[in-house]
A and B are shown apart, each in its own frame.
Chain A
Amino acid sequence: MNRGPSWFNIVSMVVGFAFLYLPIVLLVIYSFNAGRNVAVWEGWSTRWYVELMSNDQLLAAAWVTIRVALLSATIATILGTMAALALVRGGLFYGRSLFSGMVYAPLVMPDVITGLSLLLLFVAVGFSRGFWTITMAHITFSMCFVAVVVQSRLISFDKSLEEAAMDLGAPPMKAFFAVTLPIIAPAVAAGWMLAFTLSLDDLVIASFTTGPGATTLPIKIYSAVRLGVSPEINAVCTILIGIVTIGVIAASLSMKRKEVRRRRDERMAAAANAA
C-alpha cells in the first residue's frame, strides 16, 4: 500500500507546525518594529538592537550566562558521558538502580523542587551563592540529559569493535579514546549542545541558586517581562533565537556530512577488500 500522507495528515502537520512557529516568527518580526508600542506596526527599524548594545546591565548578564553555560555544559558532558558508560558498560555494581534512578529523575523533576533543594544544600554547607552555585546546579541537571543521549548511542553501537582493539593489545584507556569515543562523538557533541542550551535557558533553578552579583540573562529577561511586552526584550529574544537556530542547523549539517563521508569510506574499504 504505502500511500503517501493523506489530506488529513498534511492539514494536521500544517496546523501543528504553524502553531509551533507562528508565535516565534511574530516575536522576531515585532523586534524590528520602529515604535515603542509593540502592538502597533510602525515600520521596520533596527533601533532596539542599537539600544541593546548600550545596555550594560543586560550585556553583563549575558556574559555571566555564557560563562556559566560553557563551563557547566563541559563538565556536565564529562560527568554525563561517564554516567552513561557506567550504566551501559559498568556491569552490575552496588546501588546501580539508585544510580539509574538519580540519572532519570532530574529529567522530569519540577524545576522549583530542584532549585529549592539545591539552594537549601548550599545554605546548609555555607557556600556563598553566585556564579559557582549556579554552575554546580546546572551541571547537576544537565549531566542527566547528556547521560541519556550518550546512553542511547552506546547501546546501539557494536561492542566488538572495542573488544577487537583490546584483543590487539590496546590498553582499555587507549581503546576508549581511539575507538569508543570517535563512535559516540556525535552523541557527546549533541549532549554538550543540549547541556549548553539548557543552561542558557534556565530561569527557575538559577533564581534559587544565584546570589548577589550573578544575574543571568533569563533572570534579567524575566524581571523585565513581568512588566509587560517591550521591544528591547523582543530584540534580545530574537538574538538568542538566531544563535540557537544557527548553532543547531550548523551542527546537524556537519553531522550529516560526516555521516555521508563515513559511509563512503566504508564502501571504499569494502570495495578494496573485494578487489
Chain B
Amino acid sequence: MANEEAIRISELTGEPMPGGRETDLRARSRLSSRLGRLGLIGVPYLWLLILFLLPFVIVLKISFSDITIAMPPYTPVFDWADGVSGNLAKVKEFTLQNYGFLASDALYYLSYLSSLKIAAISTVLTLLIGFPLAYGMARSPREWRPLLVMLVILPFWTSFLIRVYAWMGILSREGLLNQFLIWLGVIDPANPLVILSTNTAVYIGIVYSYLPFMVLPLYATLEKLDETLLEAAADLGCPPWKAFWQITVPLAIPGVIAGCFLVFIPAVGEFVIPDLLGGSQTLMIGRTLWTEFFNNRDWPISSAIAVVLLLILVIPIVYFQNQQARLQESEK
C-alpha cells in the first residue's frame, strides 16, 4: 500500500526507482507500484462515489417525481430502458410540485425555521457550558489532563440513544428531577414541573448529547495557548478578567468555530432528540422528514425535504470541510 510512496519519490527526484538502472524487474515493480497507488486511491474513492454521492443524485431525481401508490411509491423519472430520447422526453415531465408543496404548506417552512432556531440556541448553550469546562481542563495540572479528556470522550462512546433515553426518566412528570425537587420542598407535589415533551427538554437533550463535540476542539485550542502571553499581560498590570477577554478568548476562536459547527450542523437535522424528548408541538425538520417517509410513505416529498435541508446546510458544511482541510494542511 506504500507503493505510491516510491512512485512519488521517483517522480519528485526525476529519477527511476531507487536502485539505479531501470531493469525489466524495476519496470515491472514500477508498474505494480502504479497499480497499487491506483487501487489505494481508487477503491475508497469508488466506494464513496457509489454509496455517498450517487445516492444524493437519486434523492434529487426522486424529489422531482410524482407520488404513486406502488412499490416503490414514486414514478421513476429516468429509466435506462428508455434510451436517450425516451429520457429526454421524460425531462419534460419533471415536476416541481413537491417543492411547491413544501413552500405552500406552513408545516414545512415552520419546521425548517424551528430546526434552525433550536439548533442555534442549543449551540450557544453548549458553548456556554462547554467553554468553562474546556478552560478548566486546560488549566488543570498536566498529569490530570489525559484522564479529563478521557472523561469527556467516554460518554461520546456510549450510545446516543441511551443517553437521550436517560433523560426521559429524569425529566418526566414523576421523574427523578421532580421527585428530588419535591423532596427538597421546592415545588408542590400536586404541581410538578412539566419539562418532558417540551422544547426545553429538546434543548437539554441536544446540549447534553453534543457537549463532547464542543469541549474537545475548545480544549485543543486552549491547551496550546501560550501562557507567557497571560504572564506578560499580568506584568503590565492587566487584570485577569481583562486578559481573559483580550487574550484567551480571541485565541480560542478557531476552537469555538469548530465546536459550533460540529454541534450546529447535526443538530439541525436531529431526529432522535426531538422525537423522544420533544412534544407534539416541537417541530424539527428531521422529524418531519421521518414522518413523511415512514408514516405517510411519501417518498418524493421526503426527498424534496432532504434536498432543501442539504441546501440550507451546504454553506456551513463546505465551510467546515475547508476548515478541516486547512487544519490538516497546517499540521503537515
Contact = CB atoms under 8 A, between A and B. Distances in A.
Interface in A70-113: 79-80, 82-83, 85-87, 89-91, 93, 95, 99-106, 108-113
A97 B290 CA distance: 32
Contacts of A106: 52
A102 B136 CA distance: 35
B154 interface: yes
Interface of A, helix, strand, loop or mixed by DSSP = helix
A147 B294 CA distance: 32
Contacts of B328: 87, 151-152, 155
B43 A104 contact: no
B4 A20 contact: no
Nearest to B329: A155
Interface string B266-306: 10111110011000000000100110011000010011001
Contacts of A1: 227, 230-231, 234
Interface string B1-31: 1111110110100000011000000000100
Chain A: interface size category: 35 or more
A39 B306 contact: no
B44 A229 contact: no
B1 A176 contact: yes
Nearest to B264: A108
B269 A102 contact: no
Contacts of A237: 159, 162, 165-166
B2 A176 contact: yes
A140 B51 contact: yes
Nearest to B62: A120
Contacts of A134: none
Contacts, number: 300
B118 to A, nearest CB: 13
Contacts of A163: 5, 9
Nearest to B270: A110
Contacts of B139: 3-6, 9
Contacts of A167: 18
B276 A240 contact: no
B245 interface: no
B169 A39 contact: yes
Interface of A: 1-6, 8-10, 12-13, 15-17, 19-21, 23-24, 26-27, 30, 38-39, 79-80, 82-83, 85-87, 89-91, 93, 95, 99-106, 108-113, 116-118, 120-121, 123-124, 136-137, 139-140, 143, 147-148, 151-152, 155-156, 159, 162-163, 166-167, 169, 171-173, 175-176, 180, 193, 197, 200-201, 203-204, 207-208, 218, 221-222, 225-226, 228-229, 233-234, 237, 240-241, 244-245, 248, 252
Nearest 10 pairs of A and B residues by beta carbon = A110-B269, A12-B132, A16-B133, A117-B55, A176-B2, A9-B136, A23-B166, A172-B3, A83-B44, A13-B136
9 contacts: A1-B231, A19-B208, A23-B170, A82-B1, A86-B44, A151-B328, A162-B2, A172-B1, A226-B275
